């Protein structure tokens, strides 16, 4: 009889602890969201304009930020491009660069506007 009373007290306690650990906390939204596109769609090698669209946590265009783009060919070591993007208005920033070879490229976009410092990486296939 004593064992069943013990189990009766322990099981609700474990359930309470697990429910307290299981969530309820709202995830913190990212301080900024970055989307990356190219003017030529699909992306082609050669002269290309890379465009980053940046919005803040509320989904509004992020203006007056510093935006940098760094690209590396994923299969050819040493093939890199980079530059500081220029603002185009409405949270859009662009950089014109020369992607010298087709294939997969990994582009990292870094957005800085204190206190925001967000980096996101994208993989694009160039023809």
Residue 72 lies in a domain: yes
Alpha helices in the chain (DSSP H): 2-21
pTM here is 0.73
The answer to whether residue 84 is domain-embedded is: yes
What is the end-to-end Cα distance of the chain in Å, rounded?
Answer: 75
Residue 43 domain flag:
yes
Q: What total of structural domains would you count in the chain?
A: 1
**30-53 pLDDT per residue, tens:** 788 999 999 887 888 889 899 999
What confidence tens digit (pLDDT) does each residue in 61-116 have? 999 999 999 999 888 877 888 899 999 999 999 999 888 888 898 999 999 999 99
Domain span at residue 106 reads 32-126
Between CA 111 and CA 52 the distance in angstroms is 10
For residue 112, give the CATH number of its domain: 2.60.40.10
């Amino acid at each position: 009889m004593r064992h069943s009373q013990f189990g009766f007290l322990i099981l609700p306690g474990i359930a309470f602890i697990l429910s307290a650990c299981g969530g309820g906390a709202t995830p913190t939204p990212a301080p900024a969201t970055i989307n990356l596109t190219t003017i030529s769609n699909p992306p082609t090698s050669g002269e290309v304009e890379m465009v980053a669209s940046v919005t803040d946590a509320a989904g509004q265009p992020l203006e007056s930020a510093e935006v940098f783009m760094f690209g590396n060919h994923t299969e050819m070591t040493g093939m890199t491009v980079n530059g500081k993007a220029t603002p185009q208005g409405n949270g859009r920033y662009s950089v014109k660069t020369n992607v010298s070879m087709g294939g997969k490229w990994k582009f990292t976009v870094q957005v800085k506007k204190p206190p925001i410092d967000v980096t996101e990486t994208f993989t694009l296939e160039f023809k």
